[in-house]
Amino acid sequence: MTDDAPDEVDGLPPVRSHRYAPPWLSSTLVAIATLVAVLSVFSTWVRVQTLDTEAWVTLSDQLLEEPEVQDALSAYLTDQLFQQADAITAEIEAALPPDLKGLAGPLTSALRAPAGTVIDQLVRSQGFRDAWSTANRASHQELVSILRDQTGPLVSTATGAVTLDLGELVRQVGDALGLSSDVIDSLPQDAGVVTIFESDELKTAQTGVQVLDFLSWFLLLVVVALHATAVYYARDRRLVVLRNVGLSLIGAGVFVLALRAVAVRAVLDAIISNPGNRPVANVSAYVATGLVGQMAWSGIVYGVLIAGFATLLGTRSQAHAARRFLAPALNASGGSVAAGTVGIVVLLLWWSPGRAFEDWVGGLTLIALIVGAVVALRRATLREFPAIAFVEPVD
């Protein structure tokens, strides 16, 4: 075969060889694509967790289901409520006989433990979960508005910080404990206000949002382009390179999972000084990075499928037998094969593994890969087993 002759390997469409493409080019492109894929996972994770309100609410709801988080939140709300210990003491004192008013202070201190139990039960109630979701949804929507250079009532930057207002939850706790409206109204305005980040870096954060919006689709496009170029320039080694593409995705997924575990441990070691805070921090970290794990496992699954597809088009006897087994379905009428392919796409649209269809680049790429795989397999089975079909092929 001359350098200018077209190649056709096991059902893949012919590609004209390129005289000046060095043999190491495809391997280099696959290696670079693997690194970019890892960056794509983390940039997508940051963007989704930062800017996707539904993902944020889902994450916050998942965190609230964790016992360690419930305990920490109960302690926080109790502390916020008892910051007004003087007002609580005054209310108890007003209810006591004159000769027992001196017990108001000790009674206030004694009230803290049973109050903590009541608050703990409240935090685990469905009503509190609903209020928690509502507060997180409204505040995150406002936060995203700020990051996109807008403003709103729940999240404010006026005092030099972007904040999340959980004051309503603190007031609900006061109601549950039977405190009077006067005591609840005397709570400081910043009771339950959680600082998310300092607004002196807000411009940097807004710029970061614009970068993340761009990288979320651009890096994926780069990965696809590098892999496609690697296969295109592989000459008669196209199936080998295609298999290597699958193996690279598997490797990237495994690396991301390992990096996630190492990073979580390193970060917690660096920021957690009190061992008692370690359990809630560990749970929070793994719930917060759950999307990273999901995308990593999706990459592994995609890699297995691509590597399996390359093997299926190979020359080994097992691959030949597998193609013969698939021939009746693939050699059916074009309409039947198209309908089956559409069914697969619809199923994936419903499932959306690893958020594959949540941006146009990922969705179109996955659909193109599915259609290309079906076309390549059908060409191979029609060529090798033209007489085997459920229905006579009609194209």
What's residue 304's pLDDT? 92
- Give CA–CA dist 62/40, Å, rounded: 24
- Give CA–CA dist 204/290, Å, rounded: 26
- Give CA–CA dist 5/133, Å, rounded: 63
What's residue 5's pLDDT? 43
Q: What is the pLDDT of residues 5-19, one digit of tens each?
A: 444 444 555 545 445
Q: Which two tokens stand for residue 149?
A: 């250079």
Strand partners, 193: 165
Average pLDDT, the chain: 75
Side-chain-facing half-sphere of 147: CA atoms under 13 Å: 21
- Give CA–CA dist 367/290, Å, rounded: 25
Taking the alpha carbons of 199, 201, 206, 211 in that order, is the dihedral positive or negative?
negative
What's residue 1's pLDDT? 41
Q: What is the pLDDT of residues 139-183, one digit of tens each?
A: 777 777 777 766 555 555 555 555 666 666 666 666 666 655 665
What's residue 35's pLDDT? 94
Q: What is the pLDDT of residues 262-315, one digit of tens each?
A: 988 887 887 777 776 677 777 777 777 888 888 898 889 889 989 999 999 888
**What's the rounded mean pLDDT across residues 182-190?**
60
More confident residue, 201 or 351: 351
Q: pTM here?
A: 0.65
What's residue 362's pLDDT? 67
Other CB atoms within 10 A of residue 224 CB: 20
Residue 102, pLDDT > 70, answer no
What's residue 307's pLDDT? 92
Q: Which two tokens stand for residue 317?
A: 């006897």
Q: Which residue has the tokens 């109960």?
A: 74
CA 139 to chain centre: 20
Nearest 5°: phi and psi at 194? Answer: -110, 125
User: How would residue 185 be classed by pLDDT, with cut points 50, 70 and 90?
Assistant: low
Lowest-pLDDT range of 48-52, 184-188, 232-236, 275-279: 184-188
Q: What is the pLDDT of residues 323-334, one digit of tens each?
A: 888 888 888 888
User: How would residue 116 be classed by pLDDT, with cut points 50, 70 and 90?
Assistant: low
What's residue 167's pLDDT? 63
What DSSP state is assigned to residue 121? H
Q: Which two tokens stand for residue 371?
A: 């259609």
